[in-house]
A and B are shown apart, each in its own frame.
Chain A
Amino acid sequence: GAGVSQTPSNKVTEKGKYVELRCDPISGHTALYWYRQSLGQGPEFLIYFQGTGAADDSGLPNDRFFAVRPEGSVSTLKIQRTERGDSAVYLCASSLTPSGLTDTQYFGPGTRLTVL
């Protein structure tokens, strides 16, 4: 595809359940970022992948959150034992080069997660 895609676009789950959010970056982009955007706020960094490895996971709020990128392309953000406070839009972005500080990050449309 031409841009970053994310699935599902919407996810409603119950408190305590496990969810997986998927991100397909632009083909050939080696850097991949996850952000979380709460209502009325700017996106907040969660985790950064350089290829297959998580180069920076300092933004993950706690150990219920985990992300993988096993083949260096598609990434999955996993949330265990979801809480109502996890409700937000989860954004994925990719850029061409690893650790490209000035590279443009291309964002997907996001997954809106609602925890009831």
Chain B
Amino acid sequence: AQSVTQLGSHVSVSEGALVLLRCNYSSSVPPYLFWYVQYPNQGLQLLLKYTTGATLVKGINGFEAEFKKSETSFHLTKPSAHMSDAAEYFCAVSFSGNTGKLIFGQGTTLQVKP
């Protein structure tokens, strides 16, 4: 069965530090991979997605993620954290033949300290 695992339910970084949020998936077929962000009292917003082609994907707000098939990973990074990055981040996958429904990880709350 396909699944998504986000390592670390809470991550805390200092402002200006590197942000690394981990996501691993389990699948027997090639996945399509997404990162969504959820700010307090707001809906989920797409940060970036990998479908085909270049494995390093750049998204909004300076975030990027790299699809590593050999590691079944799609970790999210940002070189320098801003206070405004504090939010909950969800990794999600969909697969060919599953109608586009997303399978989400449990989420990682990012705290940014001044």
Given contacts A42-B90, A42-B107, contact A104 B102 (CB under 8 A): no
Chain A, interface residues (CB within 8 Å), range: 20 to 34
Closest Cβ of chain B: how far from A57's Cβ, in Å?
10
Which residues of A from 19 to 71 have beta carbons under 8 Å from B? 31, 33, 35, 40-45, 48, 50, 55-56, 59
Are B100 and A103 neighbours in the complex by a CB distance under 8 Å? yes
Chain B, interface residues (CB within 8 Å), range: 20 to 34
Are B102 and A109 neighbours in the complex by a CB distance under 8 Å? no
The reply on A100 being an interface residue by CB < 8 A is yes
Are B43 and A102 neighbours in the complex by a CB distance under 8 Å? no
The reply on B61 being an interface residue by CB < 8 A is no
The reply on A99 being an interface residue by CB < 8 A is yes
Which residues of B from 71 to 114 have beta carbons under 8 Å from A? 90, 92, 94-96, 98-107
Given contacts A4-B43, A101-B32, A109-B43, contact A43 B100 (CB under 8 A): no
* Among candidates A42, A43, A104, residue contacting B46 with C-beta atoms closer than 8 Å: A104
Are A108 and B43 neighbours in the complex by a CB distance under 8 Å? yes
Are A43 and B43 neighbours in the complex by a CB distance under 8 Å? no
- Complex Cα spacing A107 to B37, Å: 11
Closest Cβ of chain B: how far from A39's Cβ, in Å?
11
Closest to B38 in A: A107
Are A45 and B101 neighbours in the complex by a CB distance under 8 Å? yes
Closest to A105 in B: B102
Are B101 and A56 neighbours in the complex by a CB distance under 8 Å? yes
The reply on B45 being an interface residue by CB < 8 A is yes
Are A43 and B101 neighbours in the complex by a CB distance under 8 Å? no
Q: Given known contacts A101-B51, A101-B100, what 18 new A-B pairs fall within 8 Å (CB)? A: A4-B43, A40-B9, A42-B4, A42-B104, A43-B90, A56-B98, A56-B99, A56-B101, A59-B101, A99-B99, A100-B100, A103-B100, A104-B46, A107-B45, A108-B43, A109-B41, A109-B42, A109-B43
Per CB-CB distance, the 9 closest pairs between chain A and chain B, nearest first, are: A42-B104, A107-B44, A102-B51, A107-B43, A45-B101, A56-B99, A109-B43, A101-B100, A43-B104
Interface residues, chain B, CB within 8 Å of chain A? 4, 9, 32, 36, 41-46, 49, 51, 90, 92, 94-96, 98-107
